[in-house]
């Protein structure tokens, strides 16, 4: 199978950079919004991991001769505004915060899955696959925390 051309590859990677930047910002907001110290720590850690993922992808885009994306997506910005609005209404309980985190990770899962369906060069595929596994771990962990929080309330 032939790999995709460089222009499409850069576009795909820039989409993943936006996704990672959205995750970085989203987890940072969730860390600020939760009252539980264990969740603050978890969300702060996840925010740093997403930032690191974005940096790895930016380095690849630069190596390919492209201009790396350096901002969040419009959708991510709108999602965070919605989170802020919703949290003002719901009083930012931890279940609501976890729901929003999970929704953000659902988007990340979809974006990474779509990227992996493309004919990526092997070294880049391995990087994207490793990051995708991190997204899946984040999603499953947030979902189980949310389910536990829901059972508690």
* pLDDT for 74: 65
Q: 152 pLDDT band (50/70/90 cuts)?
A: confident
Query: Structure pTM?
Result: 0.85
Domain that holds residue 37: 6-152
pLDDT (tens digit per residue) in 99-113: 878 888 888 999 999
Average pLDDT of the chain is 86
Give the separation between CA 124 and CA 127, rounded to whole angstroms: 5
pLDDT (tens digit per residue) in 110-126: 999 999 999 999 999 99
* pLDDT for 93: 80
* pLDDT for 75: 61
Q: 79 pLDDT band (50/70/90 cuts)?
A: low
Give the separation between CA 126 and CA 102, rounded to whole angstroms: 25
Give the separation between CA 117 and CA 93, rounded to whole angstroms: 37
1 in any annotated domain: no
Average pLDDT over residues 61-74: 85
Which contacts (CB < 8 Å, 24+ apart) does range 73-76 have?
A: 73/18, 73/19, 73/21, 73/22, 75/22, 75/107, 76/18, 76/19, 76/21, 76/22, 76/25, 76/26, 76/104
Nearest one of 45, 37, 42, 147 to 99, comparing CA atoms: 147
25 in any annotated domain: yes
Domain count, the chain: 1
* pLDDT for 117: 96
CATH code of the domain covering residue 18: 1.20.1260.10
Average pLDDT over residues 140-148: 91
76 in any annotated domain: yes
């Amino acid at each position: 199978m032939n790999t995709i051309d460089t222009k499409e590859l850069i576009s795909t990677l820039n989409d993943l950079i936006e996704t990672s930047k959205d995750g970085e910002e989203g987890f940072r907001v969730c860390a600020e919004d939760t009252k539980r110290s264990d969740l603050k720590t978890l969300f702060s850690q996840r925010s740093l991991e997403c930032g690191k993922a974005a940096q790895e992808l930016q380095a690849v885009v630069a190596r390919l001769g492209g201009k790396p994306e350096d901002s969040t997506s419009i959708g991510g910005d709108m999602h965070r505004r919605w989170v802020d609005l919703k949290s003002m209404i719901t009083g930012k309980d931890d279940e609501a915060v976890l729901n929003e985190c999970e929704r953000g990770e659902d988007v990340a899962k979809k974006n990474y899955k779509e990227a992996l369906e493309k004919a990526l060069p092997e070294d880049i595929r391995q990087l994207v696959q490793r990051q995708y596994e991190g997204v899946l771990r984040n999603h499953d962990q947030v979902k189980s925390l949310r389910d536990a929080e829901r059972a508690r309330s």
